[in-house]
Structure 1
Amino acid sequence: MAMTMTQKILAAHCGRESISAGELILADLDLVLGNDITSPVAIKEFAKLGMDRVFDKNKVTMVMDHFVPNKDIKAAEQCKMCRDFCGEKDITHFYDVGEMGIEHALLPEKGLVTAGNVVIGADSHTCTYGALGAFSTGVGSTDMACGMATGKSWFKVPSAIKFDLTGNIRKYVSGKDVILHIIGRIGVDGALYRSMEFKGEGLSSLTMADRFCIANMAIEAGAKNGIFEVDDKTLDYIREHGGAKPVIYKADSNAKYDDVINIDLSTIEPTVAFPHLPGNTKVFSEIGNVKIDQVVIGSCTNGRLEDLITAAEIMKGRKAAKNVRVIIIPATQRVYLEAMEMGLLRTFIEFGAVVSTPTCGPCLGGYMGILAAGERAVTTTNRNFVGRMGHTESEVYLASPATAAASAVTGRITSPWEVAEI
């Protein structure tokens, strides 16, 4: 039976030669992830199972990243619960203040995910690791608890949409613009419970940061997962970050897809998602004078070194627009250090920005950048729902690091092509 990439990975992990869309399977897990918000619930459910140990201390990880450093007593107590659990269970990969980073940037950086893996995480953006040719998806905290206990999880095998990429991406256009274009095209439920499979000669023009960003936001189109065909860039990344030996799965030439969508990357323009859905996208010929109050560059979507380099290139020698707050959040400690050594932090500070320790804080309206009523933010995060970053009467506009940086310069939503030399 012909299968997609995702179906081949799942078949291998449930010990079968073939599976088909719609089947229920029990698959072995290579990694189970939780964070400081979702793990405490999973820990309580794990205790109800009466287990005294996790299935494999090397295949469970917890990353303290949402409200860390702790913003209040409740956040501190949640982290303490995770810290105590991981100490008791001798969890190898526990990441706390000083070593942590935003989970979906940190795990690939640490080499904890490789091509061919099956990964679940109690966080919806766990689908990020599809950039490495892995099947990864978000689950609830109860599923996380069962995964920690048994090393297995139930899945309904997803059908797939193939995205055939051609052409070369242009200067100051990135993976964020690509995925916003796609979500704007198919809608926030356009890939509901399906695998978004990316392949084609256009892959060569996408960096790994682009791919992580695109896979990260597959969930914003309703997808079960996003996954990229493995190429030399993928293998180089895995090798450079000390990942385990990759297992490469390619879709059969006659694999069945619900749809095939052709994307010419050379035609993609800087794109912005207006409130209050990631699918409410516009290009700059459709955007008027939209003044802003805040810019956030960071998150599991766009806080990697490449993102910061792009932002700094636009900000260098300039000043932030009056009355615009600019917050820069490197995704990991390693990214922070590399940005410092490259002089990027000086550029940001001289521009008028603040630079934060790695945290998810502002993305989910937790802390480090909450919006008041009537305020507007351009942000490189992944969701712009009502009240997502603060007051229900605030507005969130999703954009690439280049667009966010350009907007910080002018004080209004601005194309990087307008302010930068290309």
Structure 2
Amino acid sequence: MSQTIAEKIISQHAGTTVRAGDIAIVPVDGAMATDATAPLAIQAFREMGGTRLWDAANFSLVLDHATPAPNERVANLHELIRAFARETGCMLYDVGEGICHQLMVENGHVKPHDIFIGADSHTLTYGALGAFAAGMGSTDLAAIMLTGQTWLKVPRSIKIVLNGRLPTGVVAKDVILYLVGRLGISGATYEAVEFMGTAVHNLSLASRMTLANMVAEMGAKAGLVDTMGLQLPYEFESVKPESDASYRAIYEYDVSTLRPQIALPHSPDKVVDIDEAVGQKVSMAFIGSCTNGRLEDWQEAARVLEGQKLAPGVRLIMAPASRAVFNAALRDGTAAILSAAGATFITSGCGPCVGTHQGIPGNDEVVISSTNRNFRGRMGNPNSQVYLASPAVVAATAVAGEIIDPKEVGIVRRT
């Protein structure tokens, strides 16, 4: 059939063979909206005459973008969403349960081979499972809520082959920053990005989620990670492309010599090796988000911070990707290490990442963050500067007070 992964999954759902450029009408296996997008989706659903969801069991609402409610307006929107969930019987994740993308994977709402649509641009994260997951606007989601179907223009595909083994201290976030820097923020516009290669096979689910998550910063429609080596709590069949599948481009990289990466203000594709940013002073550090708020990210930060203290004048804010992540960090001692170093924990959610509350920087402040975007004003203040990095680099920088390679933290603190 000579199909890519995206073409195969869409064909399975469309009931006919499709290729890049075709228009397909497909049933969806699941859908979700957040407090940032659900109110408009609910309004559009009502205007379409909707009274009953196509399948309440496969539709979720998540309060995560501005939680707990920072003002009366948002509180009333939350109440609207809660009332809709009670009325329709759909799944509601209320304040503190977690970030939508973590919850959809963590709680089994999306599985390999699925087509899943979310009213959020980082829905692509679920491609870590071998699902075709895409973000759409609130009106498109409303139509799905009503019919259980959507239309797709089958995207062209790009293949990225990652070979070798990541050096110590270099993680999936460094890989995806490097790739965004190489391809640019429009380098995969409305395309499916497939990740293959030996380096991918050794990655955890959390790391694969980081890869799929940030193809949004290339403009991609979907990110699909080879599931070879992936461990899930259920049996599944991997989706593989045909050996002679047609790609718009194929890129191959050896990650064995990759250095930690930094995205400079004010774009996620302004990426350099850490050596070019070393010495930049910071006043705020943030570890969290749908990109890097999972347990392995917190453990990575804890390995750097154990026995250390934050630099004077630097605050480190931590937001778990879900309540389950936070509870796991409590159980294994990770949270205690982070707290002893001076970290501040906030409600699981998107607040600092999207600039709604719980971590907005002041004018002229410099932030280093494990999030996915650093456009001017992204974290709530257009007069601040945001650098993107891995959790280890963020933690090391919080200790040193300036951007630094995590391997150097012990040396710096001893002098």
Residue 310 (structure 1) aligns with: 300
Residue 122 (structure 1) aligns with: 119
| Structure-2-length-normalised TM-score | 0.97
Contact 1:169-1:206 within 8 A present in 2 as well: no
Residue 74 (structure 2) aligns with: 75
Distance between the aligned counterparts of 1:420 and 1:142, measured in 2? Answer: 52
Match of 1:237 among 232, 236, 255: 232
Q: How do residues 143-292 of structure 1 correspond to structure 2 at under 5 angstroms?
A: 143-233=140-230, 236-239=231-234, 246-292=236-282
What do the CA deviations read for 1:169-211 (whole angstroms, capped 9, x no partner)? 1222111100000011111111111111011222222221111
Distance between the aligned counterparts of 2:408 and 2:325, measured in 1? Answer: 28
Contact 1:104-1:128 within 8 A present in 2 as well: yes
**Is 1:19 matched up with 2:18?**
yes
Residue 376 (structure 1) aligns with: 366
Distance between the aligned counterparts of 2:273 and 2:77, measured in 1? Answer: 41
Structure 1 residue 391: Cα displacement: 1.9
**Is 1:357 matched up with 2:338?**
no
Structure 1 residue 305: Cα displacement: 0.3
Structure 1 residue 414: Cα displacement: 1.2
Contact 2:289-2:371 within 8 A present in 1 as well: yes
Secondary structure, counterpart of 1:154 in structure 2: strand
Contact 2:164-2:199 within 8 A present in 1 as well: yes
Letter in 2 for 1:275: P
Structure 1 residue 342: Cα displacement: 1.3
What do the CA deviations read for 1:336-366 (whole angstroms, capped 9, x no partner)? 1010111222212211111112010000111
Residue 135 (structure 1) aligns with: 132
Distance between the aligned counterparts of 1:316 and 1:202, measured in 2? Answer: 28
Structure 1 residue 417: Cα displacement: 2.4
Letter in 2 for 1:277: S
Distance between the aligned counterparts of 1:45 and 1:131, measured in 2? Answer: 30
**What residue ranges of structure 1 are gaps of 5+ in the alignment?**
240-244
Aligned in 2, Cα 1:420/1:136: closer, same or farther, shift over 3 Å? farther
Structure 1 residue 247: Cα displacement: 4.7
Secondary structure, counterpart of 1:262 in structure 2: strand
Moved over 4 A (4+): none
Distance between the aligned counterparts of 2:74 and 2:282, measured in 1? Answer: 30
Percent identical residues: 41
Match of 1:94 among 83, 89, 92: 92
Contact 2:285-2:367 within 8 A present in 1 as well: yes
Residue 4 (structure 2) aligns with: 4
What do the CA deviations read for 1:283-315 (whole angstroms, capped 9, x no partner)? 123224210010000100000000000101110
Single out whichever of 68-77 and 214-223 deviates more from structure 2.
68-77
Residue 283 (structure 2) aligns with: 293
Contact 2:202-2:229 within 8 A present in 1 as well: no
Match of 1:332 among 316, 319, 322: 322
Letter in 1 for 2:232: Y
**What residue ranges of structure 2 are gaps of 5+ in the alignment?**
none
Structure 1 residue 95: Cα displacement: 0.6
Secondary structure, counterpart of 2:167 in structure 1: coil
Q: How do residues 45-64 of structure 1 correspond to structure 2 at under 5 angstroms?
A: 45-64=44-63
